[in-house]
Amino acid sequence: MVGRKRFVLVDTEGHALGVLVVPADWSEQAGGRALLAQLLPHLPRLLKLWADQGYRGDLGAWLRETFGVELEIVTRPPDAKGFILLARRWVVERTLAWWSRNRRLAKEYEHLLAGSTLLLYLAAVQLLLKRLAPHPTARRPYAPPRPGYS
């Protein structure tokens, strides 16, 4: 089985807007272009995208000319040493971490790319459903702690 790459477009809160699973030999430029060509006609209000350094090149010019969308590449400061938190980069990483809680996504079991894509969309739907209707005893994020708990 060949390797896979996952291209993900998320909103500012980390909710999946689109997913593309391709063979591992695709470049970031090619995968990003394919995903955005599928999604951007359906997202007319989208004006700006953030991406990591793998998307440098002519992708920004193509987005501007084709869809009128600005692409900002999130770069690491040249004088930085060690780990630093990059603005906007953590949003996608957090989404991938949420998805990694699904056992089925821990390893690539699917033979078809469409099956892998489907499982990522199902993980996104499951996450949204848990937020819409959480378990009654689940602690709500940002809620004050209950008495007797620390």
User: What would be the CATH architecture of the domain defined by 4-77+84-132?
Assistant: 2-Layer Sandwich (3.30)
**Taking the model in full, what pTM does it have?**
0.80
Residue 87 to residues 34, 71, 101, Cα–Cα distance (Å): 25, 14, 24
What is the predicted pLDDT for the residue at 146?
65
Q: Which one, of 42, 40, 88, 47, lies nearest residue 71 by Cα?
A: 47
For residue range 92-144, list pLDDT tens digits in order. Answer: 888 888 888 888 887 778 888 888 889 999 999 988 888 888 888 877 766 67
For residue range 50-86, list pLDDT tens digits in order. Answer: 998 889 999 999 999 999 999 999 888 888 888 887 7
List the domain boundaries for the chain: 4-77+84-132
| φ, ψ at 66 (rounded to 5°) | -85, -45
d(CA 147, CA 143): 12
Q: Who wins on pLDDT, 116 or 150? A: 116
